[in-house]
Structure 1
Amino acid sequence: EVLLLENLRFHAEEEKNDPAFAARLAELGELYVNDAFGTAPRAHASTEAVASHFAVRAAGFLMEKELDFLSRLIENPARPFTAVLGGAKISGKIEVIRNLAGKVDRLLIGGGMCGTFLRARGLEIGDSLVEEDRIDTARELLAAVPEGKLLLPVDALLADAEGPGAATRTATIGNVSKPWRIVDIGPETTKRFAAEIESSRTVFWNGPMGVFEMEPYAGGTRALAAALARATERGAVTVVGGGDSVRALKEAGFASRVSHVSTGGGASLEFVEGKELPGVVALSDR
């Protein structure tokens, strides 16, 4: 017999990790299999409390694959190991950077979040995105990472306004005045980052290099996606996690040409941060 239940979050007891609700769920089966990696960070009734009612608490095939690839990144990566981090803000990736800094051989920073690091280095970046309340944190991270391990853009594609109709130009970092703002990594940075990726044996990528949703600003992200595919063809283990980077990879046509595309963006980041995921801890067989 197979029962398909409705979305359990329609029930308030699910997100409260309610023991009585979990017990009722447990009455419906004889063993427990969790194959939803994206929900693993949640201590909910169906991901944590219900598991305690079963002697066998197994990972499904997808969960097993996610844990296999992500564990390899943290525990025993083939070297050189390169992490590529992008996206809009540094605030959501501070712990990821801290945890990866001691594990990777190269840490490549692009996307909107690089603006906060560049400002922390005292560079002029015009109207580029900066998290003013995270500049000190960025400065601390830069000081903590060994010289030469963390690479920031050396040039960038600039736009003089938001939107696809803006004027654009390429400039070296430090020569960016208002109203110009960084919308993508530049050609020299793209070349350097791609070379680092292609010379690596393990690569983790999370976050686009620019405003990739707009065609004129997608070049850097697509170029790194292509470099990731080439690295995979040469035998590297390549893992992509995070909604925007996965979307960019798919749009560029390279999703089938990397080792693993994570189904849980937030879950993969928390795992790489070193956090224990309740939905994983609850399992007896991973």
Structure 2
Amino acid sequence: MSFSRLVRFISTDGNTYYGDAILKAGIIDARKATHAWIISGNIFGHYLVTDQQKPIKKLLAPLSWDQIHTVRFLGLNYAKHALEIKLPKPKYPILFFKPVTSIVGPTDPIPVPKFAQIDNETDYECELVIVIGKEAKNITEAEALDYVLGYAVGNDVSQRSWQIKKGGGQWSLGKMLDGWAPFGPAIVSSKIIKDPQNLQISTKINGKIVQSENTSDQIFGVAKTISFLSQGTTLLPGDLIWTGTPAGVGMGRTPQYWLKHGDIVEIELENVGTIQNEVVYEKDIKAKL
């Protein structure tokens, strides 16, 4: 039996497990699960969803750093987002990367070090996250979804002054920081989400909706993105592809809105669930990974 909603969690015995979240009827958000069926084996190969349950004490990022090879991000991939920041739609996907140390869990704090406090221009970006399930190279758009293990939701935290004004034309300095890619709360199987191009995605800051869109507004859909990125490059099991953010980012608002110490950022994706992270300035916070 394959998993429905893959979670990685610390249980009450202090150990870390992979599991399939046990949810009540009508609930889809793994953050509301109190227990999970334990998974044994390799989630990218042969594994077994056992009949053993464990209580969930804390949800972690669905994958650990050593399971992730490459973390890819698309920029300007929603039509309305390109319009709000007054840039033309890209002809080809705009690609950048973050290190695995940016990955943290669905409830971990977003640490903002002094480096990122220059100009106080830290921004939020809700994103659909693709998890690659098997090696893919030179694949067609028609077969691309067969290579997806599942989907999650994430926040591509960005510091705009380093990204745009001081990065020398590339974006990494404003996006690469530790803890700046929280995601989860689970990896929802592609058998559940069969059409990733018709999902509502949104962001709330302190309970107020600031982004709300459908993934149908993506310029390069999931299948096209996977196919394009696989041309001449092998996508590996565990690779993450973040598919861009819709309109409503702080940079594009009037007046502009930047994340502040203590802000609570909630990012939700239909049929996946919600991550909720607090913005914390000037603290060295190490998430358990």
Name the structure where helix makes up a greater proportion of residues.
Answer: 1
Name the structure where strand makes up a greater proportion of residues.
Answer: 2
Same structural fold, with TM-score higher than 0.5 when normalized by the shorter chain: no
Quickly name the TM-score band, shorter chain normalised: under 0.3
Larger radius of gyration: 1
Q: TM-score, normalised by structure 2?
A: 0.24
Which fold has the larger relative contact order, with Cα–Cα distance below 8 Å and residues 6 or more apart in sequence?
Answer: 2
